[in-house]
Amino acid sequence: MCGIVAYVGNKEAYPILIRGLKRLEYRGYDSAGIALLNDKELNIYKKQGKVSELEAFTINKNLKGNIGIGHTRWATHGLPNDVNSHPHFTTNKDIAIIHNGIIENYSTLKEELISRGYQFRSETDTEVIVHLIDDIMKTEKVDLVEAVRHALLSVTGAYALVVISNKHPDTLIAARKSSPLVVGIGKENEFYLASDATPIVEYTKQVVYLNDEEIAILDRNSGLKIVHLSKEEKTPYIQELELHLEALEKGGFEHFMLKEIFEQPKTIHDCFRGRLNTEQGWVNLGGLKDYHQKLLNANRLIFVACGTSWHAAQVGEYLIEELARINVEVEYASEFRYRNPIINEQDVVIAISQSGETADTLAALELAKSKGATIIGICNVVGSSISRITDAGSYTHAGPEIGVASTKAFTAQVTILTLLALLLANKKGTVSAAKFHEIISELENIPKKVKEILDKNNLIKEIATQYKDAKNALYLGRGSSFPVALEGALKLKEISYIHAEGYPAAEMKHGPIALIDEEMPVFVIATKGTSYEKVVSNIQEVKARKGKIIAIVTEGDEQVKSMADHIIEIPDTNEHLVPLLATIPFQLLSYHISVMRGCNVDQPRNLAKSVTVE
């Protein structure tokens, strides 16, 4: 939520900032802005809309400077207009700031500053910080770094921020608390800063992830210095990035989302590679190796997550309860943290998060930790905040996911949860050796079967043309296909703006059935398995009300075929693995409908990929 990029060194900063902002645009695209320092002149350009609009706006402007900061905004306080765009600056334009996060006590601070004569241009919480820094420098007669430190001691809330000043033409000052920030170390005192490593990776692989309440001073003469808010000096911990540039490109696909959907045979494989062995009959998650007993003896496993990750957690609940017979609860992180949950040392709280930065999920983990629970993370982004605060965890290894609507991260999360369920079931002896073997060998076939579904892309596109103008849609599933229905509905609404709801198929009778008429597409997962006959009855109920049925069925199915308006066949698989396959047609359907409606597939309106505010 909001992307930050900054550079100091001997190269021209502008192209680095613009390229970086484009990489970070997934974090918010309400407005974009930059500040460039050239010969003690601080030039600020900002514009409502996408980075491309900022680029157009800056043509023919003075874009010189080897030091600068850039920001792409997801609006929290104040409309997404030019004035509220970052950077924000002091009255005399000596100091400019970019910020990601929320300053909770901004209105009190603002009142104080107004009473001291400060005038505010914007409605943002961020502008408070820059005036506060200015005020502290004047009243306390301290230098800029000290003023930043004092200002941060006065604010409550979350921040990742960067400060630039024309009085310090060689220095950037950055700080973080609860919002991510990573420093890239280039050649000869050249530094990059960004909300994640994607703007940095093409220049350097040496990075330092800042910790909460740390201030980084990046100086092209004296190098990098990190101090804690308490003034204690910290030794920078330099890590090598594993990220590859190609992973950040569209690779010939029209959209990142489509590329990411088509990557799934590989990403699912990458996720289980080295973690199972069919011949020797084991499943292993290296990051959890010291926590097997803790998990097996846990009172409950509590999953906390948001959005798509919450749907993956729901699949995990079915799998773990069914296979390992361990009590599982799934919680929206935002609800969990505010309802005084009963947690103790016997509980294991597992966060699922693609970004590893979602504010509510992080806060839920912190709460659980404070109550003595063991905390575990299932994250995609290596080095993310959740992966660093948890006791243990597993990475999903799906690679960078750029499309705002999550696809490959979801199937990777479900893959990890399947492995976790199998691991625990095997250790606990709640599945027979034959069943364990059957599921792990079938898991190895899943990438190939996903590929077979992707080969039906043209058929799915054809079906999409018939429903692109729908106003509403229902998604139905039972058992572990119910969360797949929820995820299908979420995909459709977030990228095509069609109202869609996911329901357990049998619940349809308790309300949604009233909505069904000949205009209503009903997407149903009706694959072979325990609930098949029941779902067939639900399909009959929809047909009796003239609803349109688009059914995902097991290859060779005849019964549903005779009732449905359209069927999409998926290869037969073990019932526990159906979510990994059934979700793929829904992703493609949503994708095509979104394209046909002319929507922005990769950057849907009002959304952001990494939600670092509550």
CA distance 214 to 242: 24
429: alpha, beta or left, given left = phi > 0 and alpha = psi -120 to 50? left
* Closer residue to ligand G6P, CB minimum distance, 204 or 361: 361
* Closer residue to ligand G6P, CB minimum distance, 552 or 611: 611
- Find out whether 398 and 267 touch, Cβ atoms under 8 Å: yes
Q: Per the structure block, which two tokens stand in for 531?
A: 């609930």
CA distance 260 to 254: 11
* Closer residue to ligand G6P, CB minimum distance, 260 or 501: 260
> Considering the complex, what minimum distance in angstroms separates the CB of residue 405 from ligand G6P?
6
> Considering the complex, what minimum distance in angstroms separates the CB of residue 419 from ligand G6P?
18
> Considering the complex, what minimum distance in angstroms separates the CB of residue 196 from ligand G6P?
11
> Considering the complex, what minimum distance in angstroms separates the CB of residue 150 from ligand G6P?
33
Q: Which of 22, 46, 50, 609 is catalytic?
A: 609
Q: Which helix (H) or strand (E) holds 4?
A: strand 3-8
* Closer residue to ligand G6P, CB minimum distance, 374 or 610: 610
> Considering the complex, what minimum distance in angstroms separates the CB of residue 65 from ligand G6P?
34
> Considering the complex, what minimum distance in angstroms separates the CB of residue 102 from ligand G6P?
16
- Find out whether 553 and 527 touch, Cβ atoms under 8 Å: yes
> Considering the complex, what minimum distance in angstroms separates the CB of residue 203 from ligand G6P?
25
| 165 three-state secondary structure | strand
The residues that touch ligand G6P, with contacts defined as CB under 6 A, are 306-309, 353-355, 358, 361, 404, 406, 607, 609-611
Please name the residues in contact with 114: beta carbons below 8 A apart, sequence gap of 6 or more.
Answer: 120
CA distance 46 to 53: 9
| 506 three-state secondary structure | helix
Tokens 């204690």 belong to which residue? 232
CB burial class (10 A; 0-12, 13-18, 19+) of residue 570?
buried
* Closer residue to ligand G6P, CB minimum distance, 84 or 353: 353
- Find out whether 406 and 308 touch, Cβ atoms under 8 Å: yes
* Closer residue to ligand G6P, CB minimum distance, 177 or 609: 609
Please name the residues in contact with 172: beta carbons below 8 A apart, sequence gap of 6 or more.
Answer: 6, 8, 67, 69, 162, 163, 164, 191, 193, 217, 218
Tell me the C-alpha to C-alpha distance, in Å, between residue 398 and each of 202, 414, 588.
20, 12, 18
**Position closest to ligand G6P via CB:** 307
* Closer residue to ligand G6P, CB minimum distance, 72 or 355: 355
Provide the pairing of β-strand 206-209 with 548-554: unpaired
Tokens 């750029």 belong to which residue? 402
User: How many other C-beta atoms can be found within 10 angstroms of the C-beta atom of residue 492?
Assistant: 30
C-alpha 446, offset from chain centre: 24
> Considering the complex, what minimum distance in angstroms separates the CB of residue 416 from ligand G6P?
13
- Find out whether 21 and 5 touch, Cβ atoms under 8 Å: yes
* Closer residue to ligand G6P, CB minimum distance, 179 or 406: 406
> Considering the complex, what minimum distance in angstroms separates the CB of residue 439 from ligand G6P?
25
> Considering the complex, what minimum distance in angstroms separates the CB of residue 179 from ligand G6P?
13
CA distance 63 to 389: 40
* Closer residue to ligand G6P, CB minimum distance, 288 or 495: 495
Helix-helix angle 481-496:578-596, to 10 degrees: 20
Q: Is 609 a catalytic residue?
A: yes
Torsion of CA 246, 251, 254, 260, to 10 degrees: -70
> Considering the complex, what minimum distance in angstroms separates the CB of residue 159 from ligand G6P?
19
Q: How is 374-408 classified by DSSP, letter by letter?
A: EEEEEESSTT-HHHHHSSEEEE-------SSS-SH
C-alpha 484, offset from chain centre: 18
Q: Per the structure block, which two tokens stand in for 313?
A: 């957690």
Q: Which of 2, 271, 306, 379 is catalytic?
A: 2
CA distance 15 to 353: 32
| Backbone angles phi and psi of 511, in degrees to 5 | 150, -70
Q: Is 167 a catalytic residue?
A: no
Burial 524-556 (b: 16+ CB within 10 A, else e): bbbbbbebbeebbebbebbbeeebbbbbbbbee
Kindly list the catalytic residues. 2, 609
